[in-house]
Amino acid sequence: MSAKPDAAATAAELLALPSESGVLAWPDAPLAWLRARPATWLRRLRQRPVLEQGFRPLAAALERDGWAVEREAAGRFPLLLVSPPRQREAARAQFARALGLLAPGGRVLAAVPNAEGARSAEADLATLAGPVQTLSKHHCRVFWTAPLDPATLDQARIAAWQALDAPRPIEDGRFLSRPGVFAWDRIDAASALLADCLDPGLAGEAADLGCGWGYLGHALLSRCPGITALDGFEAEAAALELARHNLAPFASRVRLGFHWHDVRAGLPGRYDLILSNPPFHQGRAAEPALGQAFIAAAAEALRPGGRLLLVANAHLPYEAVLRARFSELRLRRAEAGFKVYEAQR
Ligand SMILES: C[S@@+](CC[C@H](N)C(=O)[O-])C[C@H]1O[C@@H](n2cnc3c(N)ncnc32)[C@H](O)[C@@H]1O
C-alpha cells in the first residue's frame, strides 16, 4: 500500500468529524462500522466497537492494531458507521443493511470521498432514512441521519435495497455473481484472453491468485483434464464465496481450496501452475507494486519447472520483475491493450 493515505482512508478518518466538531456525540454503547479500516479515532471510543471488514488486507491491518474483526456484524447498535463501496447498488445495499442493524433511536453516519460518489451516496441515504446533516472536509462529505425509529421507515424499500447486491446468475446462468466484486456482471476481457491461452495439456496442482468470482479457475478446470487441484486465493470475502459456489461442480474431480488471503504475504502451498489477472489498484491510482508482489508470490510458490500465466494491461511495468524472477519468459498474446505472459521457473 502507498504511504500517502488514499481518499477512502481520509474519509474513514473523517467519520470522527461530527463528534470532534461537537455536533454529534459518540454513543455510550458500542457502535458498529461496516467496511471498517484503521483510523486514529478508534482508540478514543469509550466502548469497543463492532468492526466488519471483508477485504483481507484491511481486516489484517485492524487485527494488527488489536481489534477483533467480524465478517458479518450482528446485533442492534445506536450508531452505524458506513464506508460504502463505490459500486452504487452495493453502496445502497450497505445503507439498507445499516438500517436493519439500528437500535430504536439510532443513527447512520457515513463518509465518502467526493470523487467516489459522495453526493449520490448522500442522496441515497436520505431517500432511505429521511433528511441528513452534512459536513465537508478534505474533498469528502460526512453525513448522518436523525435518530431513527425503524418502525417508521419504509421497510419495503429497505428490503428491496438490501437485495440490490444479492448474488444472482450471470452469463446465461453459467455463473453466480453479485454487485461490488470485480467485473461482477461479465467475464473480464483480460481474463478471457488469458483463458484463451490455456493449453488442454496443462496438468498438476494449480492456483489462481486474486480469483474473484472464479472465472479463470472455471476455465482451467473445464479445459484441462490433467489439473488435479486448484487453490483460489482472494482478498475479498464476498468474491471468494462466489468462487466456491461457481467451482463446486468440479469438487468430485479435483481438490479445491478457497483462501481468504492477502497474496502479497506469499502463498502457503507449492504449485505446478499459477494463473493470475492481478489487481492493479487499491485506491484510484494504478499501483504496479500490487501486481509485482503477486508475481513475486507466484515465483516463490512454483515448483521447479512450474509455470505462471499472467495477464495485465499492456502498459503496466511487470516485464522487468518477470525477467528477474523467472528463467524463461514468453509473451503469449498482446491484444486489446492486454498482454498475456507465460513465465517458467
Ligand atoms: C483483476 S481482478 C481478477 C479477478 C478474477 N480473477 C477474474 O478474472 O475475474 C483481481 C482480484 O484480486 C483481488 N485482490 C485485490 N487485492 C488482493 C490481495 N492483496 N490479495 C488477494 N487478492 C486481491 C481483487 O479483489 C480481485 O478480485
Q: How far is the CA of 168 from the centre of ligand 1 (A)?
A: 20
Give nearest CA residue, ligand 1 atom 15: 279
Give pLDDT tens digits for 306-330.
Answer: 999 999 999 989 999 999 999 999 9
Burial class (CB in 10 A: 0-12, 13-18, 19+), 196: middle
Ligand 1 atom closest to residue 57's alpha carbon, by position in its atom list: 19
Is the pLDDT at 270 greater than 70? The verdict is yes
20 CA to centre of own chain: 30
Assign 285 a pLDDT band (cuts: 50, 70, 90). low
Q: How far is the CA of 278 from the centre of ligand 1 (A)?
A: 6
Q: What does the pLDDT average to over 9-17?
A: 98
Give pLDDT tens digits for 215-260.
Answer: 999 999 999 999 999 999 999 999 999 999 999 999 999 999 999 9
pLDDT at 284: 60
Is the pLDDT at 15 greater than 70? The verdict is yes
pLDDT at 2: 42
Is the pLDDT at 4 greater than 80? The verdict is no
pLDDT at 150: 82
pLDDT at 3: 46
333: β partners: 340
pLDDT at 290: 94
Q: What does the pLDDT average to over 265-292?
A: 89
Helices (H) and strands (E) in the chain, counts: 11, 16
Mutate which of 170, 175, 182 for ligand 1 pocket (most atoms within 8 A of beta carbon): 182
Ligand 1 atom closest to residue 239's alpha carbon, by position in its atom list: 27
Pocket (CB within 6 angstroms of ligand 1): 57, 182-183, 188, 191, 210-212, 215-216, 233-236, 239, 262-264, 277, 279
Is the pLDDT at 112 greater than 50? The verdict is yes
pTM metric for this prediction = 0.95
Q: How far is the CA of 328 from the centre of ligand 1 (A)?
A: 25
Q: What does the pLDDT average to over 116-135?
A: 97
Assign 1 a pLDDT band (cuts: 50, 70, 90). very low
Task: Give strand ranges (E) for 14-66.
Answer: 32-34, 50-52
Give nearest CA residue, ligand 1 atom 7: 212
Mutate which of 208, 264, 277 for ligand 1 pocket (most atoms within 8 A of beta carbon): 277
Structural domains in the chain plus CATH codes: 7-164 (3.40.50.150), 168-344 (3.40.50.150)
Look at residue 190 and give its three-state secondary structure.
Answer: helix
Contact 278, 290 (CB under 8 A): yes
Give nearest CA residue, ligand 1 atom 2: 279
Give nearest CA residue, ligand 1 atom 24: 210
Give pLDDT tens digits for 40-99.
Answer: 999 999 999 999 999 999 999 999 999 999 999 999 999 999 999 999 999 999 999 999
4 vs 235, residue with greater confidence: 235
Closest by Cα among 281, 271, 313, 276 to 295:
276
Give nearest CA residue, ligand 1 atom 6: 211
Mutate which of 236, 292, 313 for ligand 1 pocket (most atoms within 8 A of beta carbon): 236
Assign 305 a pLDDT band (cuts: 50, 70, 90). very high
Give nearest CA residue, ligand 1 atom 3: 277
Look at residue 235 and give its three-state secondary structure.
Answer: coil
Give nearest CA residue, ligand 1 atom 1: 279
Is the pLDDT at 35 greater than 50? The verdict is yes
Q: How far is the CA of 183 from the centre of ligand 1 (A)?
A: 10
Look at residue 311 and give its three-state secondary structure.
Answer: strand
Give pLDDT tens digits for 153-196.
Answer: 999 999 999 999 999 999 999 999 999 999 999 999 999 999 99
